[in-house]
Amino acid sequence: MLTRTIRSAVLTAAVLLCSAGPALVPASAAGPASGGPGWTAAPATGGGTRPSADGRPYFYLEGAPGTVLEDTLALTNPGKKPVTVRLRGAEAYNTASGGSALRAADDTWITPAARTVKVPAHTGARVPFSVTVPATAEPGDHPAAIVASSGGHQAGVRVQLRVSGPTLSALTVEDVRVDKGPGLIRYTLVNRGNTTLTPHLDVRADGLVSGARHIAGRTLPVELLPGRRVQLTEKWPHTPALDSASVHLVVTAGGGARGTGSASAVFVPWWRLAGLVALVSAGTAGWFAVRRRRARGTGAGPDPYMSDSDTEHSGDTSHTDSEPATAGAAT
């Protein structure tokens, strides 16, 4: 009975150097990346593959393998003292948890016109830079950044570089598993294409007892770079108490990228089952104890299988045998 109860619970239960030096211009208010107190860095207006008179949040450059692309970085110093800013290019990458980071080594594709720029107080500097695309560069996105640093502070201005050629948007969902303790769904996203992806996640669950229900649907705060993999988690609120359930993940992104993954888990409240086992065991032991006491009490008395008629008949026979002898003696 106990085995049948447990089975039932289980069942339900991812450049050439520009010759021009930095030109000093009046400081202006833009939407720059702050490098700390007193100075900022941002794309200069009206440059790049997609120029904008209103300012750009990042650099966008596109060209074929073997070409040289140019653009300009704007530094501003609204403070009362001059600042010396050091510049370098850096390749971007995804951390294991899905964040974005810049490599410590210089990006050899990106070359600033000047590595060190002194910006006077209340002034701005325009610093040209070039991006040399190797002849062997693969088509697709190659994210990087111009890193400006001064006085212990640094700011990275994103460079979105696309090498011309065929592009492919593709991703896979791998290593899906359910971590029942904290109620988390763990999974890995891998960018199998050559474009940067912004994934959208959709999760549903199917349980033998709880049935089908939607768990999550949202755009992930991740820019998945080409060829990268990231390990992510999704909260599973209100996990089943006693059920056998499976989760199904569908991840989509621009360009037709789509990946799926699944995992199963059995939810059994073992502490409750342990209490049930103890209760059943105690009840079973008590039942056997009562049976033993009854058996001992029956062995000391008359045969429990003798009928009332047998008992009456036995008594009559004893009385009949003694009666004639008494009568004979009186005679």
The set of residues, in sequence order, having a beta carbon less than 8 Å from that of 226 and lying 6+ positions away, is 140, 141, 142, 191, 193, 194, 195, 196
Q: What is the DSSP secondary-structure string of 9-37?
A: HHHH---PPP---PEEEE-----PEE-ST
pLDDT in tens, 74-85: 999 999 999 999
Cα dihedral: 198, 170, 138, 227 (round 10): 70
Three-class secondary structure of residue 129 per DSSP: strand
Q: Is the pLDDT of residue 171 over 80?
A: yes
Rg (CA), the chain: 42
Given phi > 0 = left and psi -120 to 50 = alpha, else beta, which region is 180?
A: alpha
Least confident of 20-29, 171-180, 189-198, 248-257: 20-29
Task: List the one residue out of 88, 85, 199, 103 whose CA is nearest residue 142.
Answer: 103
What's the pLDDT band for 3 if we cut at 50, 70, 90?
very low
297 band by pLDDT with thresholds 50, 70 and 90: low
**pLDDT surpasses 70 at 162:** yes
Q: Which carries the bigger pLDDT value, residue 37 or residue 214?
A: 214
**Residue 287 — pLDDT band, cuts 50, 70, 90?**
low
- Does residue 10 surpass a pLDDT of 50? no
Beta carbons within 8 Å of 267's beta carbon, 6+ residues apart: 13, 180, 239, 240, 241, 242, 243, 244, 245
What is the band of 17 on the pLDDT scale with cuts at 50, 70, 90?
very low
At 216-243, the pLDDT tens digits run 999 999 999 999 999 999 999 888 888 8
Residue-level pLDDT at 240: 85
Q: Which of 37-51, 245-259, 268-282 has the highest mean pLDDT?
A: 245-259
Residue-averaged pLDDT of the chain: 80
In sequence order, which ranges of 107-172 are alpha helices (DSSP H)? Answer: none
- Check pLDDT > 80 for residue 15: no
Check pLDDT > 50 for residue 13.
no
Tokens, residue 138: 């693969």
> Side by side, which strands form the sheet with 211-219?
211-219, 200-207, 243-253, 257-267
Task: Look at residue 151 in the predicted model and tell me its pLDDT.
Answer: 87
> Among 100-104, 171-175, 264-268, 306-310, which range has the highest average pLDDT?
171-175
Q: How much is the pLDDT for 291?
A: 73
pLDDT at residue 37 in the model: 65
User: What percent of the chain lies above the pLDDT cut of 70?
Assistant: 70
Number of H helices and E strands in the chain, helices first, is 3, 20
Question: Under a CB-based contact definition with an 8 Å cutoff, are residues 280 and 198 in contact?
Answer: no
The predicted structure's pLDDT at residue 330: 43
* Arithmetic mean of pLDDT, 44-57: 71
Q: Which residue has the tokens 């720029």?
A: 117
CA 61-65-71 angle, 5° bins:
25
Confidence of residue 326 (pLDDT cuts 50, 70, 90): very low
Q: State the average pLDDT over residues 285-306.
A: 63
pLDDT value of residue 320: 46
* Contact indicator for 123, 77 with CB cutoff of 8 Å: yes
Give the residue-averaged pLDDT of 204-221: 92
pLDDT of residue 181: 87
Per-residue confidence band for 56, with pLDDT thresholds at 50, 70 and 90: confident
pLDDT: which is higher, 275 or 177: 177
Average pLDDT over residues 268-287: 58
Query: Model pTM?
Result: 0.69
